[in-house]
Amino acid sequence: MTRRKASIASPAAPKALLGDIRALIEAARKRAASAVNSELSMLYWRIGQRIHTQVLEGRRADYGEEVVLTLAAQLVKEYGSSFSVKNLRRMVQFAAAYPDERIVVSLIRQLSWTHFIALIPLKDPLQRDYYAQMAGAQRWSVRTLRERIDSMLYERTALSQKPEETIAQELATLRDAQRMTPALVMRDPYILDFLGLRDSWQESDLEAAIIREMEAFLLELGAGFCFVARQKRIQIDDEDFHLDLLFYNRKLRRLVAVELKIGEFKAAYKGQMELYLRWLDKHEREPEEASPLGIILCTGKKREQIELLELDKSGIHVAEYLTSLPPRAVLGEKLQQATERARLQIEQRQQDTE
């Protein structure tokens, strides 16, 4: 009878072991930092809520200011500069902006106090909720959140053009079910200042610049986009067509076709995109995926044509693109005009159905 030699596990190489231990330490530090951030944010909300409800609400402004000054002087002496007058005011604003503690509890799992400092100045509750939900879902850094706010991302979404009840419902779906809708993803206009296009250019130049700057283009497209193909060949009745760009959106679970156009939107673009979408639906869509969507990017839009063509029913989104970022005031005015047009259209539809 032969006796097997007992196998002895060889110890891990020193470098590999050191790497494993470093990973454990870093992961623990991140969890600890996250827990501390959550506790601090919750503490600041509770302080703000206490001051707001017991001192400021229903009292004279000068009385409330005097109380805050007195509180800050004592708290700074005992606990440091985190409880200065400026920060106490922020805590009060925080509690006023988020009166529901349950919402705060859900947000502090993913957002830091510095995130909330960026969100507090936003006056529109739906706008603020959008940025909070997207920052959490997409794990935006504070810097990214500020950049998105500065670029008026919310105002550029298709969601912002909808009735307030619909916006609130879609944001609740994002918060509770972590499910995105096309309105959360689609934008107008798209800002493509990173492409470096100057003076005049052809569609092929635009396409080449997008391929060259694909990472930045994906960020501008929005959450969940993955590049699939350039000049996707589509063969129908022995005739070849070529789709400019094809993407897949992981959040929406559907293919997204993108056509690039120079000049204003033309009604003929609808038929072309519908053809592409139906071909993709028949030949490329997987069983678990939703029907493909189309984005037509133009340098201008004829809004009445777009409205009459009812492109949204075909899953087609028409948007302008800007190759240079306009001053914030100019962009804000442009988006405000678009919002007003959308409001009037909604009111007209409601009148037509009555």
pLDDT of residue 93: 92
How far is 104 from 56, CA to CA, in rounded Å? 21
Q: Give the pair of three-digit tokens for residue 87.
A: 């920060």
pLDDT of residue 57: 63
Under 8 Å between Cβ of 281 and 228: no
Among 274, 293, 266, 270, which Cα is nearest to 186's?
293
Under 8 Å between Cβ of 317 and 158: yes
Per-residue pLDDT of the chain in tens (354 residues, 90 and over written 9): 445 544 444 455 677 777 787 887 788 887 787 788 889 999 999 999 988 887 766 565 666 778 888 899 999 999 989 899 999 999 999 999 999 999 999 899 889 999 999 999 999 999 999 999 999 988 899 999 999 999 999 999 999 988 899 999 999 888 887 888 899 999 999 999 999 888 788 899 999 999 999 999 999 998 899 999 999 999 999 899 999 999 999 999 999 999 999 989 999 999 999 999 999 999 999 999 999 999 999 998 877 888 888 888 889 999 999 988 888 888 888 888 888 877 777 777 666 666
SS3 category, 308: helix
How far is 74 from 47, CA to CA, in rounded Å? 14
Cα of 216 vs its chain's centroid, Å: 15
The C-alpha R_g of the chain, in whole angstroms, comes to 26
* Helical packing angle, 164-177 and 125-138, nearest 10°: 30
Element (DSSP H or E) covering residue 145: helix 142-150
pLDDT of residue 1: 46
Instruction: State the CB neighbour count (10 A cutoff) for residue 160.
Output: 22
Among 201, 204, 225, 203, which Cα is nearest to 215's?
225
pLDDT of residue 153: 94
pTM (predicted TM-score): 0.81
pLDDT of residue 6: 47
Q: Give the pair of three-digit tokens for residue 260.
A: 């690039």
How far is 144 from 223, CA to CA, in rounded Å? 13
Among 282, 346, 291, 286, which Cα is nearest to 316's?
291
Among 88, 43, 83, 40, which Cα is nearest to 64's?
88
How far is 229 from 250, CA to CA, in rounded Å? 16
pLDDT of residue 353: 67
Among 315, 337, 319, which Cα is nearest to 252's?
315
